[in-house]
Amino acid sequence: MNNFNFYSPTEFVFGKDRENECGTYVKKFGGSKVLIHYGGNSAKKSGLLDRVKKSLENSGIAYCELGGVQPNPRDGLVYKGIELCRKENIDFILAVGGGSVIDSSKAIAAGVPYDGDFWDFYSGKRIEKALPVGTVLTIAAAGSEGSGDSVITKEDGMFKRGAGSDALRPKFSVMNPELTQTLPAYQTACGATDIMAHVFERYFTNTTEVEITDRLCEAVLMTMVKETPRVIADPNNYEARANIMWAGMVAHNNIVGVGREQDWNSHGIEHELSALYDCAHGAGLAVIMPAWMEFVYKHNIMRFCQMAVRVFGCNMDFENPENTAIAGIKAFRRFLHDIGMPINFAELGAKEEDIPALTEKLGLGDGKTGGFVHLSSEDVSQIYKIAAKATL
């Protein structure tokens, strides 16, 4: 196990009707004038936005609003948000939505007290301070409600880049599973895939002797394998929604990933897909992750056997462990297909002829990525090719 710091100071406020308490928590964490940041009309139509405003009013907190966050949130709206916050003397940002809204809120929070261009933070500059952020989560997926991470897409060139800092960790996150019940099956499945990917990115490591985090990773994965099909079958299953929502936080606040090298190549490779085709991040991951696994599994066959046996209940082939490793990857892809995810380029709406452009955009040049297996441009291109043609 490697040395590490773990710091997850967010207060999670979980369960039915808890959005009615968000005024109390904004106050608890020092907010007096709030920017409510949200996405499309669903938060309005469902009455959620009204409940949030009422809760703020009950606590005597002023607010203004900025809607319009798109999936794969753009820098344009972030600039607009920063300007609005400065003009209105906002001291707290309340994200009402999913990962995109939260990521956009974090970017605004970092940008407001910073003299330069907020994009500097998405180009590697360290974030030292930010406005406090709270969230009212409506999609179980990104884990952004418990993480210090944010991903923004630069409209000029559609580059998707991330920034991370403890300063971006939400002060509180309201997590009411009921709010996710209106989410269509496809988006629910995309979220579930993203949650599992967050775990796999940590699970595939070269660090040995990490039994506790291995087991915690597997706990989240097994939960997703059990609960996701239940939600797809019945979107109103509160209990399954609740298990998935909490699993989504656990998957990404790093409690399952401390003390070990992590991978994150699948996320990097996928980001180019969702940036180019504007597809859902989770759908892109469903296509990329199993392909990545097929490309790298020989690097550590026993680790893939561990996944196969412990997570997907495969029988161990002691005579030929490679069979078990392959069976585990196949079981994962079959699971993704069964919950309605695309498993190849055609199903995703991606084109094989774009592979050179996708690879080029990742910008590896003659270099290699870090992670479980270090990948060259040629390796990434191979992974896209496997993903393009994948079948069950």
Q: Which residues bind a second copy (CB under 8 A)?
A: 1-16, 18, 177, 208-213, 215-216, 218-220, 222-223, 226-227, 239-240, 242-243, 246-247, 250, 255, 258-259
Burial-class residue 97 by CB neighbours within 10 Å (0-12, 13-18, 19+).
Answer: buried
**Residue 206 Cβ vs a second copy, minimum distance, rounded to whole Å:** 15
- Closer residue to a second copy (CB): 16 or 86: 16
What's the closest the beta carbon of residue 234 comes to a second copy, in angstroms?
Answer: 13
Asked whether 144 and 248 are in contact (CB, 8 A), the reply is no
Q: Nearest approach, Cβ of 231 to a second copy (angstroms)?
A: 12
Closest-CA residue to 148 (of 7, 35, 260, 34): 7
Confirm if 295 and 383 have CB atoms less than 8 A apart: yes
Min separation Cβ 225 and a second copy, Å = 10
Tell me whether residue 257 or residue 342 sits nearer to a second copy (CB atom): 257
How far is 34 from 359, CA to CA, in rounded Å? 41
- Structure-token match 């002829």, residue found: 353
The smaller minimum CB distance to a second copy, of residues 166 and 322, is found at 166
Smallest gap from Cβ 255 to a second copy, in A, equals 6
Closest among 388, 224, 376 to 294, alpha carbons compared: 388
Identify which of residues 104 and 173 has a Cβ nearer to a second copy in the complex.
173
- Between 64 and 302, whose beta carbon lies closer to a second copy? 302
* Maximal CA-CA distance, the chain: 68
- Taking the least distance from each CB to a second copy, the nearer of 25 and 372 is 25
Q: Please report how close the Cβ of residue 80 comes to a second copy at its closest, in angstroms.
A: 32
- Six-digit token string for 321: 């462990």
Please give the helix or strand (H or E) that residue 44 lies within, else none.
helix 42-45
User: Residue 246 CB, nearest distance to a second copy (Å)?
Assistant: 5
Cα dist from 229 to 15, 176, 186, 209, 291, whole Å: 21, 20, 12, 32, 22
Q: 370 CB contacts (<8 Å, ≥6 apart)?
A: none
Residue with Cβ nearer a second copy (55 or 344): 55
Rounded distance, CA 136 to CA 18, Å?
A: 9
Dist CA 363 CA 158 (whole Å)? 13
